Structure 1
Amino acid sequence: MELICPVCQGFLDARGDHAHCASCEKDFKLEARCPDCHQPLQVLKACGAVDYFCQHGHGLISKKRVEFVVQD
C-alpha cells in the first residue's frame, strides 16, 4: 500500500509512525487502523517487536494487514 501526501499528492516515505514527503518536505504522523473495523489500533511494543491490537473484538492484527492513515 502506497501512502499519498495530502498536500502535493506525492508519494510518502513511511518510517515507523511517521511519513515524509520528499516533494514538499513535510512530515506527517501515521495512525494504525484495523483492516476489519477501521478503528485505531493499540500499538504494543516489547523487546524490539511492534504488535497491533484491536480493542473492538478483532484481537491481534498482523503487521502486514494494518492500514496506515495519514494524519494532517
Structure 2
Amino acid sequence: MEHITHPFSELFEQLGLDASHQGIEHFLHNHRLPAGVELVDAPFWNRSQASFLKEGLQSDSDWAEVIDQLNASLR
C-alpha cells in the first residue's frame, strides 16, 4: 500500500483555511494551544474542522502525519 504524504498547505485547504504561505504564517502566529489542550479541542475550530482532525488522527489516516505537524506548530 502506498503511503501518501500531504503538504501542510493541503491540510489548510482541507480545513477551509487560507493555504497560502502568508495565510499559514498568520494562522500559526494568531493561534496557540496551551499545554493540556488537545488539538481537536481547540476553541478556534468549527465542528467540521475538529471532526476532520479527530477522524484523521483516530484512524491513523494519511492525514495523521501532517495533523501532528500542525499540532506541534501550534505549541
Q: Which has the higher contact order (CA 8 A, sep 6+)?
A: 2
How does the TM-score come out when normalised to structure 2? 0.22
The structure where helix makes up a greater share of residues is 2
In terms of Rg, which structure is larger? 1
